[in-house]
Amino acid sequence: MQIIIYNQKGGVGKSMLATQIALHFDTTIIELDPYGMLTKTLDDRVIKIALDAQAPEIESGDVVYDFGGFDDIRLESIAKNATLILLPFNPTINSLGTTLQSYNRVKNLELPVLFVVNGYIKESDIEDAVSFLAEHTQDEIDCFAIPHTRALQTAENDGVSIIELAKSGGLKQHTYKKISSVMQDLMKKIEEYN
């Protein structure tokens, strides 16, 4: 499984998703974001690639590519062996325009694209965002939604899986139960593509 996490918009949850996916599937992360900080929390799992360096061509094996919030010319070469592109975004006007640009950038790579609505507050936010994307792409949109929660940021900062946090018992189990269930569903959805 080789997953690309891409959006030219920063702050949409790319690194959070990279962390959770890599921990769940026990994979390496190739961090292509020059401002990324995953090496501080997941140092043994992350290979940091400088902005001016070529990404390693990994023909087989599991890896998650965490792109920065800009158009990266290395996208095409990495996509050769990828199996899925995750396109996370926040359901806001500001994020939707850049997400549409990002989709237009990846749609010709002939890979499945899973849109991830990250940080929604109301169910109507999801409906509005997906409707906007479907209307402007004229494509069928496959989408997964993650509600707004600080728990995922906490897990990313600590370099731990939210699913494992929920299994730790006591107050943590209660606190993280709902978001853990959501993330387990996301992992099942990702597995459907591989």
Residue type at 167? K
Would you list the DSSP string of 107-139? GGG---EEEEEEEESSHHHHHHHHHHHHHHH-S
pLDDT in tens, 147-186: 999 888 888 888 889 998 888 877 777 788 899 999 999 9
Beta bridge partners of 113: 85
Provide the domain count of the chain. Answer: 1
Domain span including residue 45: 2-192
Q: What does the pLDDT look like over 74-103, one tens digit per residue?
A: 999 999 999 999 999 999 988 999 999 999
CATH (domain of 63): 3.40.50.300
Single-letter amino acid code for the residue at 176? Y
